[in-house]
Amino acid sequence: GWGYYWGCRTIRDDDKRRSCMFNGGDSESRPSYSPAFSAASYGYELLFNQTMINSLPVLVSAVNSAILRTLGGGVIEPSVQVLPKTDAEEAKASATAAYIASNVGALMVTLAFLGVPSQSMLVIVEERDNDVKHMLHLMGVKVAEYWLCTYTFDLIRWVVMASLGTVVLTLVGAPTMWRGEMGLAG
């Protein structure tokens, strides 16, 4: 807590000084003082969130302002200005953004292509439910022709979806999908 700590400020060892401050100081080292002038020391420890390191100067300023107000003095006005990012920080942020963009783009392409197999399964289930293959066989269509037609139709749908996905990614401007270390053309 708060208090007057006499003689503790001359102790060099942090643990001993902290113990002295929390125990109120030792009475032998207290100097005689006149009521007109008091040489008081305030000690405090700050606990702060280290992920927001910019909060430390503001916190120190607030505590020091409280001490000054207690002593009847003025107030400390805090001023915090964040330093600009270094080139290494900018490069890391850019690489992280590119990595996220490429992963999101890959996820969107994957989700778009998931619709094609589900539609194919739907067609197969409907054909089995309606006995389409049996009816085609009765009408003279050979099994190889049936599967070749089904395969060609599925291939056309895949090519259309891949082309649309490529066009959309190109229009959106996702260069990380095509160039670079993790891109398709890299």
For 20-59, give the DSSP string.
HHHTT--GGGPPP-BTTB------------TT-TTHHHHH
N- to C-terminal Cα distance for the chain? 61
Per-residue pLDDT of the chain (186 residues; tens, 9 = 90+): 334 444 555 566 666 666 665 555 544 444 444 444 344 566 677 776 677 777 777 778 888 888 777 777 766 666 666 677 888 888 888 888 888 877 887 787 787 778 777 877 888 888 888 888 777 878 888 888 888 988 898 889 888 887 887 777 777 766 655 565 655 554
Q: And the tokens for 82?
A: 């964040």
Q: Supply the angle between the helices 143-172 and 87-130 in degrees, to the nearest 10.
A: 150
Distance between CA atoms of residues 14 and 19, nearest Å: 8
The pTM of the full predicted model, rounded to 2 decimals, is 0.36
Let me know: does 177 contact 183? Beta carbons within 8 Å.
yes
